[in-house]
Amino acid sequence: MFRRTRRFQRPIPTKIVEEPIIYEPFKPIPEPFLPSRIADALSKTIPKLEAPVEVEIEPPKKPITPVLTQEIKHKNYKNFTIDLSVAHTDYPLGLRDMGIIADTMTVIKADSDFSYKLNSTANDPTPAEKGQMEDQFEIEEIYITNAAASGEAIIRVAWNPYLIRLKPS
């Protein structure tokens, strides 16, 4: 069997040269020679491996399946009556003093214009009107602001005493 190749970069015109293909079988890799006295010394220093210890594996426990529970419906509520004939500026209703964290707030009655802020006096005031409801917040305190006018306002605050709240760390 011959392979045809061309020889390039020669000053003479190229010609096809047939070269024989020589296959050499793989040569075995010789094992390293280790004198017996060194092998004996190594076998004494290297600890002998013991048979592996069989460990009894417990069968997997039944996986924990999530359970959907309904929030307890029992809620407490309190109505706060505010005299709107007296001017108030960021007047707190006292929820913090009572230890209440409310889920909802509803304006039951509003004889005159007033506004409220939730949780902090730094928040923006919200103008209040009868039937207005807040339920997207955890309400820690409500601050009332109004100009002196006639009438009163009633704000109902509801909370769930059984709701577990985590304190931020």
Supply the CATH number for residue 124's domain. Answer: 2.60.120.10
Is residue 51 situated within a structural domain? no
Is residue 8 situated within a structural domain? no
Is residue 141 situated within a structural domain? yes
Is residue 130 situated within a structural domain? yes
Is residue 90 situated within a structural domain? yes
Query: How far is CA 59 from its chain centroid?
Result: 31
3-state SS class at 4: strand
Is residue 107 situated within a structural domain? yes
What's residue 66's pLDDT? 72
Q: Are 117 and 161 in contact (CB under 8 A)?
A: no
**Based on the structure, what is the number of domains in the chain?**
1
Is residue 22 situated within a structural domain? no
The model carries a pTM of 0.56
Burial class (CB in 10 A: 0-12, 13-18, 19+), 102: buried
Q: Determine the structural domain holding residue 129 and report its residue range.
A: 76-159
What's residue 17's pLDDT? 62
Is residue 45 situated within a structural domain? no
What's residue 84's pLDDT? 93
User: Regarding beta strands 126-127 and 115-118, do their DSSP bridges make them parallel or antiparallel, or are they unpaired?
Assistant: antiparallel
Residue 33 pLDDT greater than 80, yes or no = no
